[in-house]
Structure 1
Amino acid sequence: MGCGRKSSASAYSTPGPTLIFLLGLVLMLLTGNGQARQQGWEQILSASAEYSTATQKALDDDYQMSSYGHWDLDQLTGELTFSDGGVQKRSARIQFVGSYSDRSKTWLWSWGNSTITPALYKRMDVLRSLGAKYQFNKLTQRSWAAQLSDGWEMASVANYLLKTKGIYRVPFETGFVFLLITDIRKVQPE
């Protein structure tokens, strides 16, 4: 990854986690049937969308994330920096979630991508374990047929389950990489 222009950091707005969410998960755990599992997955998606909407708003309100004209990603340090006019303004620690390819119309999890440093996707193991335990195939399959909205969905689920500060999407030649911002700070002028 190199550098580029700012990208959209928006998410969805849907109803949030409620008692129904908890009951749905309990039902799924107790019955283990496909319908209950699907309902549990839909509850996770709903809770994830609400959480991600809030974190995306906070990133913009608190850190003006959509206002910066340029970003740089350093995979060696795990730092995403934002600048304007050649002056660094913010620095964020990140974790790679995965990527969406416009060319192949597929989602690829970061843990399935050999070009990503393992330390920068280690937290995705939580999602993969959850997927294996509850048979949420989208969380366990290395790659699968997808649309761009699936990238936002998987990033939202990761953001919610890992309780990170938000999502940032960066473009590449044939699609987008989805990142989680785990920490962010203002860069102090030298």
Structure 2
Amino acid sequence: MAYEDFLTDCFGELQKMQDDLNKAYDINSFTSWNYDQPSGIITLSKPDKTINFRYYQVGTYSTASKTWKWSWDNENTSKNVVVDIEKIKGFGIANNYENLINGEFPSYDEIGWELSSICCNLIGGIGVYRPVVDHLKIHIVLTELIDNDLAEREKTKYVDCENHERRRRAFICQHLKEGSKNGFEESFETFEDMEFEYEDDDFVAWCNECEKLRIKEGGLSEKCWEEGKFKIVCEKCYFKIKETNT
């Protein structure tokens, strides 16, 4: 199928999708937005209401340079929300659709809506939201509405780190530092960027001395947490400490 024909089909589907999205949530009535890239949650607010969606970022159109940039080609986009490059670029290569292959290229204002419609077709979504920051039009595909309480719980699982920006939280006892050689005990084996098996899982580590108390207590009890004076660090810091203590 020619690219133009495929795009026409996708764009028609998106128009219907946007109508349904606006009927369900009156999306254009919200006056402010904030997205949390590490958790993949965007929050839309107005004086009397707040709603949250999961999302992925398609890319940005710059009105200054008149160029389109896919999220996979943007180092400022968290990998948690980058569009699925294998599905989009792979499809582009298979069908010789250049706009799905090149990471950045000169283009026109409506390109973001067009490419977002293709992403909705190939990956899925319930509609598109397009906030603007300075000269950048950011194209975001919303994938599902989530409960506000759940959104807040998920966002609290991430912390701002002065060295590594915003990342997943982790807990370590007071004795663990880079190169401290105090041992590194965990509830389960971990590796960086792993997917947790359960929603309530966290990275938690303690030293050899705290392990003695844990064994005596028969588990990581409240006393262990109190005497170990556990603190929160980011995931990146956690694995740097792990690397130098094992």
**TM-score normalized by the length of structure 1:** 0.74
Greater Rg by CA: 2
Where do residues 102-121 of structure 1 align in structure 2 (5 Å cutoff)?
102-121=63-82
Contact 1:79 1:91 in 2 (8 A): yes
Among 81, 91, 100, the residue aligned to 2:61: 100
Q: Deviations over 1:137-173 (max 9, x none)?
A: 1101010001111111111111222221011101112
| Structure 1 counterpart of 2:31 | 69
| Structure 2 counterpart of 1:172 | 133
- Displacement of 1:175 after TM fit? 1.9
1:168, 1:183 → 2: CA distance? 12
* Percent of paired sites with the same residue: 25
Change in Cα spacing, 1:122 to 1:175, as seen in structure 2 (3 Å) is closer
Q: Deviations over 1:40-70 (max 9, x none)?
A: 2112111111110011011100111111111
2:73, 2:53 → 1: CA distance? 23
Change in Cα spacing, 1:167 to 1:124, as seen in structure 2 (3 Å) is farther
2:46, 2:33 → 1: CA distance? 9
- Displacement of 1:83 after TM fit? 1.2
* Structure 1 gap segments, 5+ residues each: 1-24, 26-39
Task: List structure 1 runs of 4+ shifted beyond 6 angstroms.
Answer: none
Per chain length, whose mean CA-contact separation is higher, i.e. which structure has more relative contact order (CA < 8 Å, sep 6+)?
1
Cα RMSD, aligned residues only:
1.7
Secondary structure of 1:118's aligned partner: coil
Among 41, 45, 50, the residue aligned to 2:12: 50
* Structure 2 gap segments, 5+ residues each: 153-246
Kindly provide the amino acid, as one letter, of the partner of residue 88 in structure 2.
L
Among 153, 158, 169, the residue aligned to 2:114: 153
Task: Identify the structure with the greater helix proportion.
Answer: 1
| Structure 1 counterpart of 2:222 | none
Aligned residue pairs: how many?
A: 150
1:57, 1:168 → 2: CA distance? 12
Change in Cα spacing, 1:82 to 1:105, as seen in structure 2 (3 Å) is same
Change in Cα spacing, 1:76 to 1:119, as seen in structure 2 (3 Å) is closer
**Further displaced range: 63-72 or 53-62:** 63-72
| Structure 2 counterpart of 1:78 | 40
Secondary structure of 2:130's aligned partner: strand
1:147, 1:50 → 2: CA distance? 19
Q: Deviations over 1:65-86 (max 9, x none)?
A: 111111111112111111112x
